[in-house]
């Protein structure tokens, strides 16, 4: 959906004056062709957001991370990439990667809900600020126990834990040389160096 590059007067830009779209509204707009299929969007807090274009390092890092998790977790969890999850009636983001319970056919009639999600990962190049300062609040409010932001540019991993209504209580930044153990799988240790494209 194309938007006008116009700054609304501040009283009109207040959250209380903005229309909040529901997930049902969002799906209906897609069915009616009101959203441009060439533009990737997601529903965050009732607002339809254009998703940033993905550069080559982003795509490679996501592929490496997905391969690593599928290898280490095997059949213990399902790894979904760039697919929707439904957090509530007003948020249906499409995170880069989500680790969920069950198998593919368990989600034949719905997108994963927070109770079915082990953790969420966003891969950031140009989207680091949004991923760390906006999406973290949405995921925390939904009770997602663990949220990672893989910062491809700085070769770091932001790890958010301890969700609360105001955001995550813990935010730790790990360097490429570190390893991490997901909360849901305490017997699994993952090397961060395996998540980043090689440097030439």
Digit-coded pLDDT (tens) for 21-40: 888 887 788 778 787 777 78
For residue 43, give its domain range: 10-49
Residues 22 and 87 in one domain: no
CA atoms within 13 A on the CB side of 164: 7
- Confidence at 16, pLDDT banded by 50, 70, 90: low
Residues 42 and 63 in one domain: no
Residues 83 and 57 in one domain: yes
* β-bridge pairing 179-180 and 167-175: unpaired
pLDDT in the model for residue 99: 98
Residues 44 and 79 in one domain: no
Residues 137 and 45 in one domain: no
pLDDT in the model for residue 14: 58
Express the helix, strand and coil content of the chain in percent, nearest 5 each.
30, 30, 40
Residues 18 and 77 in one domain: no
pLDDT in the model for residue 6: 37
pLDDT in the model for residue 7: 44
User: Bridge-partner residues for 98, per DSSP?
Assistant: 80, 120
**165/6: higher pLDDT:** 165
Domain count, the chain: 2
What CATH number is attached to the domain comprising 63? 3.90.1570.10
Establish if 86 belongs to a structural domain.
yes
pLDDT at 174 over 80: yes
pTM of the model: 0.84
Establish if 149 belongs to a structural domain.
yes
Listed as own residue / partner, the contacts of 187-190 with beta carbons closer than 8 Å and 24 or more positions apart are: 188/72, 188/73, 190/68, 190/69, 190/72
Q: In whole angstroms, give the CA distance from residue 134 to residue 138.
A: 7
pLDDT per position as a tens digit, 44-100: 888 888 877 677 889 999 999 999 999 999 999 999 999 999 998 888 899 999 999
- Confidence at 2, pLDDT banded by 50, 70, 90: very low
Residue 80 Cα to chain centre, angstroms:
11
Residue 2, Cβ density class (10 Å: 0-12 exposed, 13-18 middle, ≥19 buried)? exposed
Residues 85 and 115 in one domain: yes
pLDDT in the model for residue 1: 35
Cβ 159 vs Cβ 180: under 8 Å: yes
Residues 38 and 112 in one domain: no
- How large a percentage of the chain has pLDDT more than 90? 64
Establish if 1 belongs to a structural domain.
no
């Amino acid at each position: 959906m194309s938007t006008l590059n116009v700054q609304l007067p501040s009283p009109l830009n207040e959250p209380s004056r903005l229309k909040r779209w529901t997930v049902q509204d969002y799906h209906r707009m897609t069915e009616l062709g009101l959203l441009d299929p060439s533009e990737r969007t997601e529903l965050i807090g009732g607002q339809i957001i254009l998703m940033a274009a993905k550069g080559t390092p982003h795509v490679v890092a996501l592929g490496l991370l997905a391969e690593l998790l599928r290898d280490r977790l095997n059949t213990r969890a399902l790894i979904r990439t760039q697919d929707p999850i439904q957090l509530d009636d007003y948020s249906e983001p499409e995170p880069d990667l989500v680790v969920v319970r069950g198998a593919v056919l368990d989600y034949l009639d719905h997108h994963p809900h927070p109770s079915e999600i082990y953790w969420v990962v966003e891969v950031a190049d140009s989207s680091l600020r949004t991923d760390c300062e906006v999406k973290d609040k949405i995921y925390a409010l939904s009770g997602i126990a663990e949220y990672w932001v893989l910062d491809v540019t700085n070769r770091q991993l932001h790890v958010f834990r301890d969700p609360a209504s105001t955001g995550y209580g813990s935010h730790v930044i790990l360097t490429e040389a570190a390893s991490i153990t997901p909360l849901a799988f305490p017997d699994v240790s993952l090397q961060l160096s395996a998540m980043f494209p090689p440097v030439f």
